[in-house]
């Protein structure tokens, strides 16, 4: 029997600024799924990362199923009512369309889903970011699946020696899904030239070439493309299968030790280091830093085990300090040059209006 795991997340309101959902809001999400679980779901979990509520659901309906997407959409609509009742900040922030049209993609919530035949043991990792965009996953996914410095299995495990197939999306193209499929090791440099530009090209999914099995899926929605203006950061999620024909859990975590620089943080417009945080970490310094959490679990007959908090381990304390230091190094120069997001990102913010006004005052000296 094929199982589908769907992850749908949205920011529909938070406590004390863009910080975290309230307990009541999370309870509302949980109750909505619980009421419908018997009809539609095998199992579910409700989590949050920063101000984004996240629904992890298992079922047998396949990806992009309208009933599953409707369930998630309605859960967020109900939770928005709670957010309004409580006066939470940014109530309904990520619900950018009024009428549900069959799929949450293009409506504000982020989603990633995969369908697979369960292995006898099926370990998975759910990564969730706050205060950054889907390109944040380019670096760790590329290195975790394609670089033997992190993925020793590429050298040591025969199943992985044949490499992986990556589907990469051009997220600036808004007329539909513009994608390219490239494989490692032979297209390694082609992938590098695309993925180095994470605001334009984003890994959407990865497959194991040894078996054709889906290995990873990433949410790719860019809120500014939907809204036409800055409405908050996309705050992506990714789901990765691990072990055997896939990288081990530790290999997939390994690239996060770089605490690489991403676009996001305050007003979604700065460059900071991505900090691997414990589950339920809050948002603080400069409306950030940009954070990523990692939840490990297994699924068996569609039922989730308890989860492990993969960044709650003393090793990551050192990385968190490094991330804070890297962030401070670039924050020291405020908004100058590389410290602020590239102009194409800022075009969705108020900076454009100001430049337009100033533009009129420019003179061309004779
Ligand atoms: P297996 O037991 O799946 O071979 O795991 C090996 C491993 O995880 C080493 O990191
Ligand atoms: P979120 O996208 O997480 O809501 O953050 C928005 C923001 O502007 C923070 O400064
Ligand atoms: Mg918010
Ligand atoms: Mg958020």
How far apart, in whole angstroms, are the C-alpha atoms of residue 22 and residue 51? 9
Q: Is residue 42 predicted with pLDDT exceeding 90?
A: yes
pLDDT tens string 321-348: 999 999 999 999 999 999 999 999 998 9
267 is in an annotated binding site: yes
Core vs surface per residue 49-59: b (16+ CB within 10 A) or e: bbbbbbbbbbb
% of the chain with per-residue pLDDT over 70: 100
CB atoms within 10 A of CB 321: 12
Task: Using the mean position of ligand 2's atoms as its centre, give its distance from the Cα of residue 5 in Å.
Answer: 27
**Whether residue 104 sits in one domain with residue 135:** no
Assigned domain for 180 exists: yes
Assigned domain for 361 exists: no
Q: Find how far residue 89's CA is from the centre of its chain.
A: 21
Ligand 2: atom nearest CA of 233 is: 2
Ligand 1: atom nearest CA of 250 is: 10
Q: Is residue 281 predicted with pLDDT exceeding 90?
A: yes
Question: In this structure, what token pair is assigned to residue 343?
Answer: 């102009």
The total number of residues written for the chain in this structure: 366
**Whether residue 333 sits in one domain with residue 185:** yes
Per-residue pLDDT at 141: 98
pLDDT tens string 60-118: 999 999 999 999 999 999 999 999 999 999 999 999 999 999 999 999 999 999 999 99
**Whether residue 141 sits in one domain with residue 84:** no
Per-residue pLDDT at 39: 94
- DSSP-based three-state secondary structure for 140: helix
Assigned domain for 166 exists: yes
Q: Which of 110, 38, 129 is nearest to 69 (CA)?
A: 110
**Whether residue 17 sits in one domain with residue 124:** no
* Test site for ligand 1: of 151, 248, 249, 296, most ligand atoms within 8 A of the Cβ: 248
Assigned domain for 200 exists: yes
pLDDT tens string 305-328: 999 999 999 999 999 999 999 999
Q: Is residue 251 predicted with pLDDT exceeding 90?
A: yes
Average pLDDT in the chain: 97
**Whether residue 133 sits in one domain with residue 33:** no
Assigned domain for 28 exists: yes
> Which structural domain, as residue segments, surrounds residue 249?
118-349
Ligand 1: atom nearest CA of 243 is: 3
* Residue 241 Cβ < 6 Å to ligand 1: no
Assigned domain for 365 exists: no
% of the chain with per-residue pLDDT over 90: 97
Assigned domain for 241 exists: yes
Q: Find how far residue 275's CA is from the centre of its chain.
A: 14
131 is in an annotated binding site: yes
**Whether residue 155 sits in one domain with residue 31:** no
Task: Using the mean position of ligand 3's atoms as its centre, give its distance from the Cα of residue 93 in Å.
Answer: 7
Long-range contact set of residues 189-198: C-beta below 8 Å, sequence gap at least 24: 191/142, 191/146, 191/166, 192/142, 194/168, 195/138, 195/139, 195/142, 195/168, 197/135, 198/133, 198/134, 198/135, 198/136, 198/138, 198/139, 198/262, 198/263
Per-residue pLDDT at 1: 87
Catalytic residues: 11, 230, 233
More confident: 125 or 175: 125
Assigned domain for 357 exists: no
**Whether residue 4 sits in one domain with residue 140:** no
More confident: 222 or 256: 256
Whether the model pTM is above 0.75: yes
**Whether residue 304 sits in one domain with residue 219:** yes
* Residue 220 Cβ < 6 Å to ligand 1: no
How far apart, in whole angstroms, are the C-alpha atoms of residue 71 and residue 266? 31
Per-residue pLDDT at 204: 98
Average pLDDT over residues 229-253: 96
Q: Which residue has the tokens 């990469």?
A: 168
Per-residue pLDDT at 154: 97
Looking at the DSSP assignment, which residues form a beta bridge with residue 43?
58
pLDDT tens string 160-175: 999 999 999 999 999 9
């Amino acid at each position: 029997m094929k199982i589908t795991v769907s992850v749908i997340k949205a920011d529909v309101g938070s406590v004390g600024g863009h910080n975290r959902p309230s307990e009541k809001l999370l309870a509302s999400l949980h109750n909505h799924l619980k009421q419908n679980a018997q009809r539609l779901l095998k199992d579910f979990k409700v989590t949050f990362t920063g101000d984004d509520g996240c629904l992890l659901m298992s079922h047998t309906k396949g990806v992009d199923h309208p009933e599953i997407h409707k369930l998630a959409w309605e859960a967020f609509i109900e939770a928005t009512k709670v957010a309004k009742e409580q006066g939470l900040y940014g109530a309904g922030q990520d619900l950018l369309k009024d009428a549900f049209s069959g799929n949450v993609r293009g409506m504000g919530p982020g989603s990633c889903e995969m369908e697979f035949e369960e292995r006898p043991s099926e370990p998975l990792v759910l990564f969730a970011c706050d205060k950054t965009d889907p390109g944040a996953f380019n670096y760790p996914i590329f290195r975790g699946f394609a670089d033997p410095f992190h993925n020793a299995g590429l050298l040591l495990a025969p199943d992985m020696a044949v490499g992986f197939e990556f589907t990469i999306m051009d997220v600036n193209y808004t007329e539909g899904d513009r994608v390219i499929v490239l494989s490692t090791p032979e297209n390694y440099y082609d992938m590098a030239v695309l993925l180095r530009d994470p605001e334009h090209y984003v890994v959407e999914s990865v497959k194991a070439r040894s078996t054709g099995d889906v290995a990873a899926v990433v949410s790719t929605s860019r809120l500014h493309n939907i809204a036409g203006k800055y409405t908050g950061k996309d705050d992506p999620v990714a789901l990765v299968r691990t072990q055997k024909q896939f990288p081990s859990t530790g290999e997939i975590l390994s690239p996060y030790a770089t605490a690489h620089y991403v676009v996001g943080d305050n007003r979604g417009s700065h460059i900071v280091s991505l900090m691997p945080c414990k589950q339920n970490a809050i948002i603080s310094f400069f409306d950030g830093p940009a954070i990523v959490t990692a939840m490990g679990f297994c699924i068996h007959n569609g039922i989730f085990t308890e989860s492990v908090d993969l960044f709650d381990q003393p090793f990551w304390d050192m990385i968190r300090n490094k991330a804070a230091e890297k962030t401070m190094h670039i924050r020291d120069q405020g908004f100058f040059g590389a410290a602020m997001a590239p102009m194409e990102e800022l075009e969705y913010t108020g900076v454009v209006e100001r430049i337009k006004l100033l533009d009129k005052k420019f003179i061309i000296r004779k």
